[in-house]
Amino acid sequence: MQQVSQLIRSTPHRILHNYPPWRVVVDLSEHPSSPSFLESLHELAREMEGSDKRQELARVSLGQANGHFGMALGALFVHEHFSAASKAKGMEAPGRQRNGCSFISLGDLTW
């Protein structure tokens, strides 16, 4: 935490004042609010991926919702649709931690 404080003190004020508005712009720029946005998204996909297929507004919105809420929705799905035994088995998985994340090798799993 001390390193963060030191970084903030040493960063020019202009940069610190510009950061919050740019975060808002970045966060809101992905939301399709007009047909021209979808057209621009299509052109970008065509140039970068060679895909000429247009994405439907519903698919774009679903992808954004998944990006923002994917982990929470996944946890809700597990909570609602998995049995207690399955949840317990998942908690026993190698490398599983309660208050953090860790990576596991899928080859180590016996189930």
Query: Does residue 8 lie in a domain region?
Result: yes
Q: Mind listing the pLDDT tens digit for each residue in 52-80?
A: 887 777 887 788 778 878 888 888 888 88
Query: Does residue 104 lie in a domain region?
Result: no
Query: Does residue 76 lie in a domain region?
Result: yes
CA distances from 71 to 68, 74, 76 (A): 8, 5, 9
Query: Does residue 102 lie in a domain region?
Result: no
Give the chain's domain count: 1
Find the domain containing 70 and state its range.
Answer: 2-95
What's residue 84's pLDDT?
Answer: 85
What's residue 58's pLDDT?
Answer: 80
Query: Does residue 68 lie in a domain region?
Result: yes
Inform me whether the pLDDT recorded for 3 exceeds 90: no
What Rg, from alpha-carbon coordinates, does the chain have? 21
CA distances from 93 to 51, 54, 83, 97 (A): 39, 41, 16, 9
